[in-house]
Structure 1
Amino acid sequence: MSRHHPGETTPARSRPSTRRGYVLAALVLIGSLLMVWLYAQAAGEREQRLRQAAFVAQGGEIVMLLRQRLLHYELALRGGVSLYWSVARPTRRQWRDYVGGLDIERQFDGLLGLGYVPYLRRSDLEALQLAMRDDGEGLFQIRPHGAREVYGPILMLEPQTIGNRSAVGFDMFAEATRHAAMAAARDTGEVRLSAPVELIQRGRDGRRNGLLMYAPIYANGIQPANPQARRAAMSGWIYAPFHARTFIDSALAQLGAGEALRIVDVGEGGDGAAIYADADFTDDPAAAVLRHSETLDVYGRRWRVDFQSAVAGDGVAAGGYSADLRAIIVAGLVVSLLLFAVVMALAHTQSRAERLAEAMSESYRRSEQRFRNAMLYSGSGIALIDGSGRIVEANPALARIVGVAPGALAGTPLATGFVGPAAQVALTGEHAGPTTLQLRRSDGDIRLVELVHTPVPGDVGSEVAALVQVDDVTDRLRAEQEVRQLNRTLEARVEQRTRELTLANHELESFAYSVSHDLRAPLRTVEGFSRLLGERFAGSIGPDGQDYLARVRNAANRMDALIDALLKMSRITRDPLQQADVDLGRIAAEVVAELRQGDPGRTVEVRIEPDLHACGDPALLRNLLQNLLGNAWKFTGGRADARIEFGRDPQAGQTPGRIALLVRDNGAGFEPAYASKLFRPFQRLHGADEYEGHGIGLATVKRIIDRHGGTIHAEGGVGQGATFRFTLPAPGSDGHC
């Protein structure tokens, strides 16, 4: 028989304990879920009863609203009966005034009108037709045609809408459903409703289904006591047609019930003709809805009103739980799951602890193996030292740096071979950063090494106190020294070249001003004496001499203008840039306005795209647009349909921080082979006799674009116009440069 020590735990004993923990967790979960379910069932039944009671009460309120609406219609009918009793037979004008005073459209929503239907025997009909013909109303036609003992045609129906006018002349006594309601009103002396009928008029939804309400009129305004006498004294009816859907909607508008409703006219025989039904009303017994029905006796008819809550999906109305109850159920489920999780966590504690201990042991073994591999294959020298500074273990890289065999370093002081007092400080410091020291190898060579000293915790009883990493940086430091020396040489050369360039610029500027001053003096002399010669000796030199003098003066003025253009172009590259957010569209509009003012006789179509902004020097960008738009204005001078366009370049791709623009015209254009010469000073592709200018404008444009770090190129053809595409810096998202 085998025996186990008291503290020893075997797998056979641990499995039943773990199973008991799992069973306990399952029992806790099942018990808590059962309690939540029982509570939810009881609370749900209680809420369902409350909802059903509220649903029935709301149904009663809807029935009351329907009764009130029908009573409202009855009052309008009885008012018409009173009018007939008071004047025997009102005229059409009197009837129209009465109905107009009721304001049916506002006060009796759903009612199509009020009409009068006479009770006519055959002889009475002929007398009525003769009387209406004598009054100039023409022959009164009755539909449907045919000889009958008694007629009940619609004689008057107000207001006179298109549908109501088409109903006049219809014999309602000839149609069975209408006949039954009219006869019931005649024999009982009370207001009566018809069964559902097809009306002549259409409702708002385009349908004809509706109801008719009749009030009887007796001769002399006295209602006889029995049905036979009532038939003998019958004079006619006041009737009101109304559409079922409009009637129901208007009656329930103030309630806003949000319920599905169906009204069925069960009649005396219980035939069940539908009067009204909501689109979402369903007879599906599986639908989770509340249902309730009430019977309504109205004006000789019996209606069954079926109520139904909203279909499934509406939380409370569909038989679900209320928000509060759902929250309680969810909370109970959460608590149940939490209890289950707690018990399950306790059941797993021992198993997790054992697995964790095993994983930590494996992790320690792998960590040790990784450290050994790092030591073995590292390119840096690594040594573990004890508290007295002796090497406990070293890798092959350190042996190569020191110049000894790999096994010869163990037990030797690490400080052996390092030169200088700084070595002792670096070797004994804690968390010492990289320190560059001199190391004398075993062959006597002095090397520069970078040393890092870091204390490390060792195992209990271990001699290891710190880790030292040594890297031979001799070659790297020498290379860095050479790079620094080369950089100092380059900086000196750049500084010298900068001074030379600055001096050259100053000399060029002085030369430009000196040349302009020295050239202008003789030019003014030539121009002045030529003018005096022409004025004082005009008769002596003759016409040819005058022409020669004029050419001399023009050449002098042209050379003076060229000197001004050169000075302006030199200032463009000399003055410092003033960066700002520039509205190019506004500047372009101002430039075009100046061109129009200077040449008012021309008609040019100019298109400027709005919201064009760029970052740059406002004065230089204005100069740029003046040159480009001025060129376009000048070279379209020979066209009657001159057109100039300035806006974004649609062919350019999106470049961050840049805006691509173009200036296009339909003017004289240029030869594409010479496009590269356009931006050179004094390069002209057209003769001075064709278009005036100095050949400096586009060169100025090129310098302005270059100073803003952009690009420009030209496209065009002879007689096909020119397009200048260029880029400029764009403002940032915050509108600043």
Structure 2
Amino acid sequence: MPRRMPGEPRNTPRTDAARPAPRRGYVLAALVLIGALLMVWLYAQAAGEREQRVRQAEFVAQTNEIAMLLRQRLLHYELALRGGVSLYWSVSRPTPRQWRDYVGGLDIERQFDGLLGLGYVPYLRRSDLEALQLAMREEGQGLFQIRPHGAREAYGPILMLEPQTIGNRSAIGFDMFAEATRHEAMAAARDSGEVRLSAPVDLIQRGRDGRRNGLLMYAPIYANGIQPSNLAARRAAISGWIYAPFHARTFIDGALAQLGAGEALRIVDIGEGEAGMVVYAAPGFTDGPEAGVLRHSDTLDVYGRRWRVDFQSPVVGDGAAVGGYSSDLQTTVAAGVVVSLLLFAVVLALAHTQSRAERLAEAMSESYRRSEQRFRHAMLYSGSGIALLDGAGRIVEANPALARIVGAPPQALPGTAFADSFVDPAVEVALGGEQAGPTTLQLRRSDGDIRLVELVHTAVPGDIGSDVAALVQVDDVTDRLRAEQEVRLLNRTLEARVEQRTRELTLANHELESFAYSVSHDLRAPLRTVEGFSRLLGERFAASIGPDGQDYLARVRNAANRMDALIDALLKMSRITRDPLQHADVDLSRLAGDVIADLRQADPGRVVEVRIAPGLHACGDPALLRNLLQNLLGNAWKFTGARADAWIEFDADPHAEVAPGRVALLVRDNGAGFEPAYASKLFRPFQRLHGADEYEGHGIGLATVKRIVERHGGTIRAEGVVGQGATFRFTLPAPGSDGHC
């Protein structure tokens, strides 16, 4: 480029030197634009990441709320179980009616969503099972059958389960101790003394969705209502469990519906290892990664089980917009315009989170207030004495029940040393630890009376600035322990009496067998001799003895034949009490039809109207029940012989009060009848209300009927009017709902 020489005009155009300024501006503008776009992009990215973290935090908070609600629901189940345990402690063994009233008071269908019922499972050894079956039979409840069948060292059958739905009734008698998963949970509850939850099982009952998958919760019951302090003692003292079956799907769906949560979750029972069984899986739950979906997993320890809870949020918007921005240039430029909106959304989300946190804190405060109120009411109205102690063992607060036990006014107890009321020095040991189970100690009342009390001590945290350090519960068990001692003495006396009666019954049975042998062998030989020689005398010397002698010999032979028939009847009645029963579902209607058909064939000239109700069934020995119907229907056939309009009816008894597991029946006719005053004689052997010349018979049939009915655990009674017929009402065991006895 040529230099400007001196004297050259300065206004000469220099185009190349004037261009760099605007180029530098363009470059700066471009740099600013690039920097601004870069800042917008970075801000958009940061805002998107921040919003993602907020969503994750909200999602985790929601999952924690769900987990807390699941724990609360399980806690409600636990409280229902512990109430059942308390009932068993208070009355030793509740009747089915008491158990039904307790469960009905819980209002399970409304208050415990998913809970199928509340049941009692006794722990039975083989001898205990036989004693229980005998006791239930004596109480009129029929034979208690165990499923699955088989001899085992110990049993855990379902004895009571309320409410009595169809599914719950089908579960009665199921031996849960024979199934591995249930056995494991029951053993864990027994060994720990705490409520324990089972692994997923197939329940006997079906849920609302028709499935059987569910869980079982068990609470142990120990003998005398006292939980032993060591493992060996707990295993020896276990007497049964209170248990609650519930369907996992109904249980968890109810919790999610209560919160209105849209999260999908899966619960896996992982036990001791990593792999486990699925307790619940929502229909929309997936394992693979999915755009716009948040995931969170948590581990819960619930009643001896370890659950892994996997949460999955619903899909929000387009998966490509999870970070709040797009790689497209138009989306990037628009991000600068909407950056304030994104910031507002973040602030709004934070405000929303804070609002939810405040509501949660308010709910927790209200829950704490109600918990405090429940505690105060529990202390005020509890039948057990309760006191709060400070670190030095002085009473800070006591309820009226403790004042009644100690025999002092309630206002005089605060500030006094709790241990001063006890004679037993072991109270210092009981109050020294963090927690002490039930301990029986001697307490001296203010009037000098010595009482036996049961003391339970546990350390409790007090409020900030409070001096409360422990809580004690005192129950006066003097009367109960004395009553238990009296019961033990009575039991020993009763056992001695039962042993004596058993020996007497054994001797009587041996004498009866000897008598039957004598009847069958020793008496029949002379009868055959009398009958044989009478027949020979009549055949060989008929001409010599004349018509009167022939008549006398015929009477002798007839008497011998009647005596031989009486011996046969007596032996049959004896065999009824000796032969073992064979239980089966017997179609009584068909059996009665066969008996009537045999009677018609033996006496074809008779016209008798016979009404047999269809569908009559009973559980018993088929041969004995046939014998029963042969005697009852045969009697009705015989004693209606003098009537031209004879009728016989076999039907269920519509007016009888039938105990559970029993069926009431009747056999009615319009025959000769009998005097009501002599009804008690009908069932005695050889007792006849009609002469042998009027109606044939030996007087054994109705005595045999009575023994057959009583061997089946039933009763029989007769009603009649002379000339108007007789009615025999009796009860027999009813077959089960599944057709088995």
TM bracket, shorter-chain basis: 0.3 to 0.5
**TM-score, normalisation: structure 1:** 0.46
Which is greater in Rg?
A: 1
Whose RCO is larger (CA < 8 A, sep 6+)?
A: 2
**TM-score, normalisation: structure 2:** 0.46
